[in-house]
Every structure is written in C-alpha cells, then in structure tokens.
Structure 1
Amino acid sequence: MKTRFSLLPRTVYGQMVAIVISSMMVTIFVVAFLVFVLRPTVPPLPEGPWPNALAIETAIDALRAGPPEIRAVIARGMSTPDVSFQTTGPFPCVPIPTEHFSVLLRRILKAQMNNRNAVIKESTCAADSSGMTSTHIDMPREGIFITAHNGINHHLPQLMRATLPLIVSFLSLLVIMGTLSLWSLWRINRPLKVLANKAETFGYDITPEPLTEQGPVELRRVARAFNRMQARIAAAAEERTRMLMAIGHDLRTPLTRLSMRIEMGGADASPAALRNDLWLMNRMLNGALSFLKGQGDTEPAERVDIGALVESVCAEFEATGRNVIYQGDLGLTCLCQPVAVSRMVNNLIDNACKFGSTVQVDTRRNGNEAIIEVADDGPGIPTEMHDVVLLPFARLDPARSSDGGLGLGLSIIHDIVQRHRGSLNFQSNQPHGLRVCIALPLDPQQFTHARSRTHSVH
C-alpha cells in the first residue's frame, strides 16, 4: 500500500499538537497585524482620572497666546461636543451642589505652572439634553470660559489599543477550541462511526467489504485489526461449511453401502462387512472432531527439546515395523505445546509412511530456528497443489474416501505450525518423493544462557 506524503502528523496526539501550535502562530500574526493597522492616530493621553484635562490645558494656553481679535474664532474651533470654549462670557448654568469632578478639574488646572496665579472658579451645572452634568470653569481675568461634561471620554483609539490584543487572543482561543472540537468529530468520530456500522453489519453478513484504513495511526490499527478479525471469522465459517459438506459427502458412500448390505442380506450383510463400514464412518467423524478440537487447543507452552521429542515419535513408528530413519541434533530447546508438536510430527511421518516406503527424519538448527525435516520416496505433491493441500478437507484425489480420511492431516499440521509462529514449506526429494520442512523459533533464553557461558569462558 502506497503511503501518501502529508505534512500533518500521523498520530492523533501529533495532529492535535500541530493544530494547537499552528493556531497559536496564526493568533500571534493576526494580533500583530491588527495592532499595527488599528493603532491610534492620536498620541495617548497621560494617566489620570480626567482624560480631557490635557485638551483643556492646551486650549487655555492657545487662547492666552492668541490675538484678542481672533480668540473667539480660536475658541469655537477648539470646541467639541464634550468641551466648549468661549471668550464672551460664562455659559448658561443651572447650579447644583458642586460635584467631585468639578473640584478635581480645578485642582488639575491649578497645578499647571501657567495657572498657579490665575483666578479659577468652578461650578457644577444641572444635566442637559445629553443626560450628563457639566463642570463650568471661569477664568474672568483672562476672559476664558469653559464647560465640560462630567462623563469620562473613553477615547476609542486608546481603548482599542489597550484591549484589542486581549480580545483577539480570547477569540483565537475560542477558534482553537472550536477547530479542535470539529476536527475531533470529523477526524476521529467519523472513522469510529464507520467501524460501528461495519460491526453492526457484520452481525448478519460475515463477508462485507473490508474497512478502509484511513485516519490517524491508532484508527488505522483498529481498522486493520477489525479486517483481520473479519477475515478469520469468514474463513472459519467457510471452513465449517466445507467440513459439513465434506462429512456429508464422504458419509453418504458408506451409508449407502451399509443400507444396500442390509437390504440385500446374505454374505454382503455379514457382521465383518457391516463393522468395516461402521469403522470407516467412525474414523471420519473422529478426524473431524480431532480437527475442531485442535483449533481450540489451550495446551500450556513448555520448554521442550525438539530433537528428543521427534526422536521419540520416530521410535514409536519403528516399533510398529515402519521404515523410519531418524538422524538429527539434540539440545534444540523450543517454547511450544509438546502434545500439539508431537501430533504434528506424528501426522507428518504417518502421511510419509502412507505414500512412501522409506521415511527420513532430521532435526537441525538454522540460526534462531529449529528445523524439522521429513522426507519420503513417494509420488510427492505437484508444485501447483502445495497451497491447496494445506486447506481443510482438501485431497489430491477428491474421489478417494475409502480410507476414512477427510483431508485434514496437512491442515492440522499447518494450524499447529502457525500457532507456534513457525513456517512450513514443501520441497522435492530427489530422485522422487516429498520433503516437508518445518521451522520453529528456538527459545530466546537458550541464546541468553549460551552467551552467559561464552562470557564466563572468556
């Protein structure tokens, strides 16, 4: 499967970290850009409780310095909706008790060097149409009269400059959390939803299409494990179906023959003939039950000398008069199920004796594996049939069932080899015959002890 190149990390953890870092970088650039674009066009006001004090002080100095004939024009030009200046006389006022703002403004103006000797009178007037009270500052000697609303002017540019980075940061944080949430729903929940739908479909259809391995590494592993499980269950169901069909097919012949013997009577219905048919059917059923039992075998694993185990199995065949020759190494320790491995070797030798006259068995070490080799001088198995004969209920000659076999011998051997994480392959034996080679992993502790002894010698 070709792996597509992607800048996004493959794991969920890596992808979330990448999104957070990317969002933080975008936030920094956006904040910097907005602060640069929206920076205030007027200089910031000095710290203090009265934001308009600097504007009032500047206006008073300008009116003092201006010629008398244009002071009224200057006053109108400097007036704003919040602060108004005039030189002709005091502004109309409905006095109310003096507020703190009025006293504070007078003190701020009085603290200026140019105003220390000036006469400054303050008063508070009732609220106007804007709903705010106003402070009136009268400087009768200079002929300067001022009215200012008693509401703090927030100066939007200064406020934007002070709060914009914080606002953008919070908005960016909200975007990050929203992005992560949406990504999690799409990137993680979507494959899980597909997996849930597939699992539900698998309840009534054991051969659906396999899941597409997509998304982060963790979800790909889940999909891969589900596909393997689905394939194993489908194979097991197919195997059960094939087993029932094989048993039904193979039992039909002896049952038909048994029925005919009973109907015809005479010599054909002799007890010996009937017992032969019953023995044949019993052997078929025992073979199928043995195969099913072997698939669910939970025998505990033990450390076994493979050479000694194979030699003992060969000795049993020699004791029954079979021409089985063993030669091999001892001391090859494997962590395996001894009964299952004995059954495997027994089936191998039994098949070899069935089709050949002489059987040679060998055990040896090849790297980190123990090799079990069984060779015979029989007709062998064609190369194109090597994979087929490993399937349950497969025979080289499907018509042959008179010996009570179901074609499970090599299938049982293959199952035991796979259970021990080994390998099985067929080779031609010269000048004719078949050579079956099985490789089983050696016990890792054997190498540890061997290295320890080597170091001790050094």
Structure 2
Amino acid sequence: MTSFPPLAALRRVFPQTIFGQMVAILVTSLLLTFCFVVLLLRAVRPALPPLPVGPWPDTLAIETAIRSLRAIPVSVRQQAAEGMSAAGFHFQLNKAFPCTPQPTDHETGLVHRILMHDFPDDAHSLSVVKCASGDRISTNIIFPRDGIHVSVISNFNFHDVIHMTLPITVPFLSLLVMTAALSLWSVWRVNRPLSVLARKADTLGYDTTSPPLEEQGPREVRRVIRAFNRMQSRIRLAAEERTRMLMSISHDLRTPLTRLSMRVELGGEDAAPSVMRNDLSLMKQMLNGALAFLNGQRETEPFETVELRSLLESLCEEFSSVGKQVSYEGEQEITCFCQPVSISRAVNNLIENGLKYGKTVKVNAWSETDEAIIEVQDAGPGIPDNMRLEMLQPFARMDRARSVDGSLGLGLSIVQDIMARHHGIVSFHDATPTGLIVRLTLPANAPRSKGRRAT
C-alpha cells in the first residue's frame, strides 16, 4: 500500500517510542490550546482592554457627570442633572434623596475611597451612604460643596462574566483536552496491540500453527510482538521435530522388532542368542543416536579460541590409526573462536558419512578475512541438488532402507545444529570426478558475547 509523501514524512518525524509519543501529544495539545485561547481572546475582547474588576465603570460615569455639572453654569445645572439621570442613576441638586441608612459594606467603602482619590478637594466633605428606599437598596453619594446628590439604584458592576471565567475555563479545558488525547492514544496505540498479543498467548498452548502477529504499535510493543513470533516459531519447530523424531524411531524400530518376533516364533538357528543380539544391538544403536541428538540440542559448551589445524589433524589421525583412509590437507595456522568439542563432533559426523558412502575422505581447512572454512570431501555418490536442504533436517535419509545399519539420519542435522549455534553456514558442492564436498563456514573472530548468546 503506497502512502502520500506528506504522510510518509510525518511517520518518519513522529516518535516511535511510547515516551516520545506521549511528549509529542502533550506538546501538540499545549500548542493547540494556546492557539485556541488566542483566537478566543481576539473574538470576545474589545479593542480596548477592560477596566480591572470592581465598580470602575459606574464610578467613572459618576465622576464624568459630576465634572460636567461643575463645568456648566449654575442656572442650567438642574436641567442638566435631570437630563443625565437614567435607569439606575439619578442626579439632583440641593435636595437629598429619601434614605434609610444601612451598614457600610465593602462596595460602599471602595466607591468612597475611589471618589476621595479622584476629588481630593472634596475628600473631607463628600459622603457615600448605603440606603434602603422601599424595597430597593441604593448608594447615595453627596458632594456638599456643590449640593450635588447622586443615587445609584443598580448594583455596581463587579462581574465581567466572560473575562472572569475565561482564565479559569481555558486551563481546565486544555487539561481536559490533553487528558482525553492521552487516554485515547494509550487505549488505541498501546492497549490494542497488547490485547491482541494476550489473546494470541492464551491460544499458544494448543495452537502453534496460527500465522505470526503483525508488528504494530510503539517500538517497545513491536519488540515484544517480534519476540513472541520468534518464540512461537521455535515452539512450532520443536513440536514438529518431536513428532518427526517419534515417527522415525517408531518406523525404524519396527523392522528389528519384527525380525525378533519372527525369530522367536520360528525358533531354531534363527532364534540363536548371537543372531538376536545383533538386532538388539541395532535397536540400542538407534536409541543412543536419538538420545545423543537430543543432548546435543542442549549443548552449553563454552566458546574459546581454538587452533583448527591441530584439532582437525588429530581427528584424521584417529581414523587413520584404525585403517581408515582419511587425510588432512590445509593451512598451517588457522584460529577460530568456537566450541572445540562441538566442532570436532560435526567434522567427525561428516567423516563417518564420507567413509560410509565413499571409502576415502579428505579434510581441508583455510582462513579468509574474518572466516574459517572447513571442507570434508568424499568419493561417494553425493546428494542430489533437490535433496540437499532436506538432508539437513533430523531423521532425513535419501534411502529409507539404510536404517538397517542403525542410522537415524541425524548426522547432517547435528552438523546443522552446531553451525547454527556458531552463526555459521553449511553448504554442499560437487567433487570432481565424483563425490561430495561439505563446506563449513565459521566466523573466525566472533566476540565473546555473541558466542554466549549462541549457546
């Protein structure tokens, strides 16, 4: 599936870890909240900033009216005062409004202090009184020097709803947005892949053949899924190998058991102990081979630096000492970081296979850059190209009839297992004029940590 270039670029920029994604979401939420606040303030705030919270608008209107009355002639002040009166504000000259004094509150005291500050000449004479007139509460302001009386029926504007609630609403709104974004992300991005993994783990005990999980989610979750897929693959291969081993052993043991049964039924020379001992020895050899293969899979031999020439020459001399035609041809000094006993076992299996099918075996070894190469060549019939990979599997044989010699087809599979622990390669090549060459390619200078992981 192809994606648009902008989306591909966004995926590369977006963090891959859980921590990075949480930080990215948090920063993005803060930026979006900041932009929202800026747009909101531009939409609802007037061109000029409002006065601070308090009775400033009403007090400013009173101060403006008083200064206007003082600026006009006395003869027209009463008419002007009546014209300035409006709903909630009443102005009159030389006549007090009917009033029942009430206790002074914070609002009245604050208006008094503001007027004293703005009219310093009247600071000692003006008065601000809270009054009750019928069922209404008013604030009466008196300027004795000019006989100006002001009655404010409505309450002073102490509340600007938008600008009072905006500083409180926006932080809570931004916190809600960030919390919701992080919660939705954690559920979708983290919990969903983990839930799928948990369901798959529940079914692993009775179903190891299901397809591997898709690697998705943050980097940490993808690593867990990748490890789970590898574990499932190893379990499936182990189960298949166990089944194949039991089927092979059952099949191969059937022939000597059938012969033993027939010898017991027929009796006579066919049931002689020496003859029956051969079949028992063959069965024992088969079982020992299977046990050796299983023990080799749990090999924990430590890795060390080995001089391969001495190791290979000693193996060849052991076969030559008992009359086998095995020779070594190779470089004088070849060092390799490996498990010496396991490498000896692998080469020993190859030599035995070569002697079984080709009578003569040549062992060669050399080094190339960071690799050590071992070749075992025989003069046998070889292995067809289409069967070479199959021969590396346990209990695989080209001819099932060869089981009469006690072989279970484990030689090459043991070699393959040993090379896998060494991160090496097993390859087959044709020899000239006839025969087979099995080549083992090993890392010559593997780090110690790598070798430990291979065990």
Same-fold call, TM > 0.5? yes
Distance 1:46 1:173 in 2: 27
Distance 2:110 2:15 in 1: 62
After superposition, where does 1:100-249 map in structure 2 within 5 Å?
A: 101-102=107-108, 104-113=110-119, 116=122, 120-126=126-132, 129=135, 133-139=137-143, 142=146, 144-148=148-152, 153-156=157-160, 160-161=162-163, 164-165=166-167, 167-249=169-251
- Whether the 8 Å CA contact 1:19–1:180 is kept in 2: the answer is yes
After superposition, where does 1:268-417 map in structure 2 within 5 Å?
A: 268-417=270-419
Distance 1:11 1:46 in 2: 47
- Whether the 8 Å CA contact 1:353–1:359 is kept in 2: the answer is yes
After superposition, where does 1:52-131 map in structure 2 within 5 Å?
A: 52-65=58-71, 67-68=76-77, 70-77=79-86, 79-80=87-88, 84-87=89-92, 89-99=95-105, 101-102=107-108, 104-113=110-119, 116=122, 120-126=126-132, 129=135
1:255 to 250, 254, 257: 257
Amino acid at match of 1:75: M
Report deviation, 1:379: 0.9
1:34 to 26, 29, 40: 40
- Whether the 8 Å CA contact 2:307–2:335 is kept in 1: the answer is yes
Report deviation, 1:205: 1.9
Cα distance change on mapping 1:55 and 1:343 into 2, 3 Å: same
Report deviation, 1:214: 0.9
Distance 1:115 1:58 in 2: 16
Amino acid at match of 1:210: P
Distance 2:310 2:134 in 1: 113
Cα distance change on mapping 1:115 and 1:379 into 2, 3 Å: same
Report deviation, 1:51: 6.0
Distance 2:110 2:217 in 1: 67
Amino acid at match of 2:23: V
Describe the superposition over 1:340-395 as per-residue Cα deviations: whole angstroms up to 9, x where unpaired. 11111100111111111321111111111111111112111111111100111111
- Whether the 8 Å CA contact 1:118–1:139 is kept in 2: the answer is no
Amino acid at match of 1:205: D
Describe the superposition over 1:157-186 as per-residue Cα deviations: whole angstroms up to 9, x where unpaired. xx6446635532342133213311221122
Describe the superposition over 1:400-446 as per-residue Cα deviations: whole angstroms up to 9, x where unpaired. 31111111110011001101111111111122211111111123579
The residue aligned with 1:451 is none
Distance 1:229 1:16 in 2: 30
Distance 1:294 1:2 in 2: 47
Distance 1:63 1:420 in 2: 105
Identity of aligned residues (%): 52
2:439 to 437, 440, 448: 437
- Whether the 8 Å CA contact 2:101–2:130 is kept in 1: the answer is yes
Distance 1:415 1:107 in 2: 96
Distance 1:150 1:115 in 2: 27
Higher mean C-alpha deviation, range 93-102 or range 171-180: 93-102
Amino acid at match of 2:323: G
The residue aligned with 2:269 is 267
Amino acid at match of 1:87: Q
Report deviation, 1:98: 4.6
Q: TM-score, normalised by structure 2?
A: 0.87
Cα distance change on mapping 1:216 and 1:32 into 2, 3 Å: same
Secondary structure at the counterpart of residue 213 of structure 1: coil
Cα distance change on mapping 1:389 and 1:107 into 2, 3 Å: closer
Higher mean C-alpha deviation, range 17-26 or range 437-446: 437-446
Q: TM-score, normalised by structure 1?
A: 0.87
Describe the superposition over 1:178-222 as per-residue Cα deviations: whole angstroms up to 9, x where unpaired. 311221122112211111111111122222231111111221111
Describe the superposition over 1:32-62 as per-residue Cα deviations: whole angstroms up to 9, x where unpaired. 1111112146653268786632222112223
Describe the superposition over 1:76-125 as per-residue Cα deviations: whole angstroms up to 9, x where unpaired. 34x44xxx223264333212345565455344324435863996343221
The residue aligned with 1:21 is 27
Higher mean C-alpha deviation, range 176-185 or range 257-266: 176-185
Distance 1:423 1:127 in 2: 107
Distance 2:427 2:364 in 1: 15
Report deviation, 1:302: 2.6
Secondary structure at the counterpart of residue 197 of structure 2: helix
Distance 1:129 1:330 in 2: 120
